[in-house]
Amino acid sequence: MRAVVQRCRRAQVTVEGQVVGAIERGLVVLLGAGKGDGDADLAYVVDKVVNLRIFPDDEGKMNRSVLELGGGVLLVSQFTLYGDTRKGRRPAFVDALEPGPAEALYERAVAAVRTAGVTQVATGVFRADMQVELVNDGPVTILVDSRKQF
C-alpha cells in the first residue's frame, strides 16, 4: 500500500461540482492499494500516517503528529500511485489492486484512521473523477510504502 502524505492548511475534494470532503489544517493522503496488499499493509500505512511527526511544535521543529495537533485527514483513493513508467510513455497499472478489493481496503483505511483517534476524517469518492484542492503547508510531502520500496 502506498500513500502520498501532504501537510495542508486546508483541502477539499469536489465531484461533479459538489464538495464531498473537506478539512482544515491536517493531512491530505492519496492512498493506493497494490496487488497482494492486506491487513498488515493497511495497519502499517495508517500507523505511519497518523503518527508522522511533521507538524511544528512550540519551537518550530517538526515534532507533532496530526493526532497531537487535533487536525483532520482527507483520504483520497489513487490507483495511479502504482503507475509503472519504466517502459514507454504511458504508465502501466498492472501492480494496482483490482477495484473491488481496493475499495474494501480503502474503506477499512478510512475506518482505521477514525479508530486511531483522528476526529475530522473526510474522503473522496472511490473511482470518481475528483478534483482535489489543497494549500500545501511548507510544502511538506512524505511518501509512505508498506513494502518499504521508498
CATH fold for domain 2-145: D-tyrosyl-trna(Tyr) Deacylase; Chain: A; (3.50.80)
Q: Are strands 26-32 and 2-15 parallel, antiparallel or unpaired?
A: antiparallel
Catalytic annotation present for 119: no
The reported pLDDT for the residue numbered 149 is 87
Domain ranges of the chain: 2-145
Reported as a single tens digit per residue, the pLDDT across 90-119 is 999 999 999 999 999 999 999 999 999 999
pLDDT at position 150, please? Answer: 80
Q: Can you tell me whether residue 67 is helix, strand or coil?
A: helix
Give the global pTM.
0.96
Q: Which of 18, 79, 93, 119 is catalytic?
A: 79
Active site residue 150: no
- Residue range 69-93, pLDDT digits in tens: 999 999 999 999 999 999 999 999 9
Write out pLDDT tens, residues 22-45. Answer: 999 999 999 999 999 999 999 999
Under a CB-based contact definition with an 8 Å cutoff, are residues 139 and 8 in contact? no
- pLDDT averaged over the chain? 97
